[in-house]
Amino acid sequence: MTDIAEKHSNRWIERHNDLLTQVKQEFRSQFGQAPSILAAAPGRVNLIGEHIDYNDGFVLPMAIERYVVIAAAPLTDSSTANPPTAKAYSIDLQDLTEFSIGSRSKPTVDTWGRYVEGVVAGFLDRGVNVPSFNSVIASNVPTGSGLSSSAALEIATATMLESITGHWLPPAEKALLCQQAEHQFAGVPCGIMDQFSSVFGKLNQLMLLDCVSQSIEPVAFKADEVSILIINSNVKHELSEGEYAQRRGQCEQALRQINKTSWREVMLDDLESAKGSLTSTQYGCAQHVITEIERTQQAAEAFKECNWSRVGELMHKSHTSLQKDYKVSCDELDILVELAGELGTSGGVYGSRMTGGGFGGCTVTLVKTAQIDAIKKFIHHHYQARTGIQATSFASRPAQGAHLIQG
Ligand code: ADP
Ligand code: MG
């Protein structure tokens, strides 16, 4: 390890010591031994480029300083079960899940263990021999809030399995393996953003991810005077899963009607020409996709230029488009964004928008670091007054992607 890598690694361990201690202790109490492997993978927040990772777009996420950590040990002695067995205990859910390790394309467990099972299946598909193992999971990534705890769980599992099996995957393949696990085992037809962010996250860098070529352009984000504030509305409206599949379908139909094969080729003029053949829902979806692809590239440029007002303006437009055209926001998210807007630049807010799938979950807000406490106080207070719900929030710098932890 280089000196710089070692310094980062020590700092990471210091910051996340609570999570590490917790997972090691629980491993001992579940399995009566110390773990031999510790792996961590972060959640992510998307700054702009929403609902376009599956629409040939660009997205601009960063890994966040919230991680899923897995402690594990392979079982190699003669008492090992035949067929080999995986055990995983989630501290957060206080639940032990167990499945036999074997090649399959569908889950045999119907709990959160599906994510682990799907990743194991991905390794087996690649001809990798996975032995029996015990594992314990601890996490501080909020779940079901659009910060991608599911991808963090998958990528942490894959990182742990790489270490157990000695089979190191090229990073992009690791992300794609986990995406496939999410599709096949959790039944969520997600794009590539979540898993790529968790694998490729870098300190002080955003990632402009081209979802067509799957290439990443790093966008430096070092300025201490501005921060990314993530506010959890703490609501999740039940309709979200079905609506996600519906939006995907509407976009596919709209693209066919416009007679193009990729959203990358579609201009607003093309949309206007095809307007007569589109339903109003399809038209709204297309409008969002086309404009959001452009906004995302513009926002990456604005970040590079440290033009915070411009970033904020684009974030605001993105929210309006998601609210009015794509129709995936909800009252609670709109209230959070509205409150941030009331503060405005003089109150320390450059811009705010919903992030993630929508219908609840989080907003992401670009703020002046010096005013962050006052901003949180104002938004929490008024959100509670208007909705009766207590919001939670935290700030994060762009964080390091998945890695093993020594010790
Ligand atoms: P998000 O990825 O936005 O957090 P999802 O619904 O995609 O929301 O994924 C959340 C699911 O991932 C949880 O319901 C659970 O099944 C699984 N999960 C995430 N974190 C954990 C954890 N610490 N322990 C067990 N399961 C987890
Ligand atoms: Mg998820």
Q: Mind listing the pLDDT tens digit for each residue in 315-369?
A: 999 999 999 999 999 999 999 999 999 999 999 999 999 999 999 999 999 999 9
- Mean pLDDT, residues 22-32: 98
**Beta carbon of 150 within 6 Å of any ligand 1 atom:** yes
Predicted pLDDT of residue 2: 72
- What is the four-CA torsion angle of 154, 157, 163, 169, rounded to 10 degrees? -20
Please name the residue whose Cα sits nearest to atom 8 of ligand 1. Answer: 144
List helix spans (H) across 191-350.
193-200, 240-258, 268-274, 280-304, 308-324, 331-343
Do 118 and 154 form a contact (C-beta atoms < 8 A)?
A: yes
- Cis amide leading into 189 (omega within 30): no
Q: How confident is the model at residue 114 (pLDDT cuts 50, 70, 90)?
A: very high
Of the bound ligands, which one is closest to the alpha carbon of residue 356? 1
- The pTM of this model reads 0.95
* Per-residue pLDDT tens digits for 278-295: 999 999 999 999 999 999
- Given this model, what pLDDT does residue 75 score? 94
Ligand 2 centroid to 365 CA: how many Å?
20
Q: How far, in Å, are 1, 8, 30, 401, 406 from residue 4 at the CA level?
A: 8, 6, 36, 16, 15
Q: What is the average pLDDT across 274-280?
A: 96
Residue nearest to atom 27 of ligand 1 (CA): 112
Q: Which atom of ligand 1 is nearest to the CA of 139?
A: 23
Instruction: Say if ligand 1 is within 6 A of residue 143 CB.
Output: yes
Is the Cβ atom of 157 under 6 angstroms away from ligand 1? no
Backbone angles phi, psi at 230, to 5 degrees: -110, 120
Answer for the pair 195, 176: CB distance below 8 angstroms, yes or no: yes
Mean pLDDT of 243-272: 94
CATH 3.30.230.10 given to domain 3-220+399-406: yes
Give the residue carrying structure tokens 């086309």.
290
**Is the CB of residue 126 less than 8 Å from the CB of residue 103?**
no
- The residues that are catalytic are 194
Please tell me the residue having the least CA distance from ligand 1 atom 24.
Answer: 90
Per the CB < 8 A criterion, the answer to whether 86 and 116 are in contact is yes
Q: Which ligand is nearest to the CA of 191?
A: 2
